[in-house]
Amino acid sequence: MSDLLTPITSSAQFQFGWKLCAFFYIIFTVALIFWTWRDADRRGGMAWFWAVVVLLFNVPGWIIYMVVRPPEYLEDAHERELEIRAAETRLSRDGATCPSCLKRVEPDYLICPYCMKKLKKPCVNCGRALKMSWGVCPYCKTKQTAGEVADAMAPAHTTPREPGPAKPKA
């Protein structure tokens, strides 16, 4: 049998074909290892471990990796986390955080006690805390006129103290 095959296996065409196959096999393996390493790296998996697994077991190792790999890219997970945090910040800014100094405030505060920023305006009729942009009180249906809004936004006037009697010089 081997005598019959010898002329074929030793022929130049067969040698060339065999080398070509080996060449493509090596290229394919290297590409597969690189792809697995990069994919595992982007997903935060054990990139070098999986590269070695694919190096040792080739396609079966790659199939195992495809089954057990992390479901999403790290950057996608990071992006989603950022979006959630941004949404939380947006929510908290609407109510319980001063937009200026970011300290916690109660939803009905008119002014931030830390940085003196105007947070809400009092209703001209019932005095409840309204958003600066509201033109009407949702509690008592009273229209908030521009003048009163401006008045509400102005800082409280403090009467200047009368200068006391000059101290007698020692």
Chain positions contacting Zn ion, by CB under 5 A: 98, 100-101, 112, 114-115, 117, 123, 125-126, 137, 139-140, 142
3-state SS class at 143: strand
Shortest Å, Cβ 119 to Zn ion: 8
Compute the distance between CA of residue 114 and CA of residue 105 in angstroms, rounded to an integer.
9
Q: Which is nearer to Zn ion, 54 or 123 (CB)?
A: 123
Shortest Å, Cβ 128 to Zn ion: 5
3-state per-residue secondary structure call for 40-68: HHHCCCCHHHHHHHHHHHCHHHHHHHHHH
Compute the distance between CA of residue 128 and CA of residue 126 in angstroms, rounded to an integer.
6
Shortest Å, Cβ 124 to Zn ion: 7
Q: Which is nearer to Zn ion, 59 or 101 (CB)?
A: 101
Q: Which is nearer to Zn ion, 29 or 97 (CB)?
A: 97
Q: Provide the CA 163 distance to its chain's centre, in angstroms.
A: 57
Nearest to 52 by CA among 27, 70, 34: 34
Shortest Å, Cβ 147 to Zn ion: 16
Q: Which is nearer to Zn ion, 79 or 151 (CB)?
A: 151
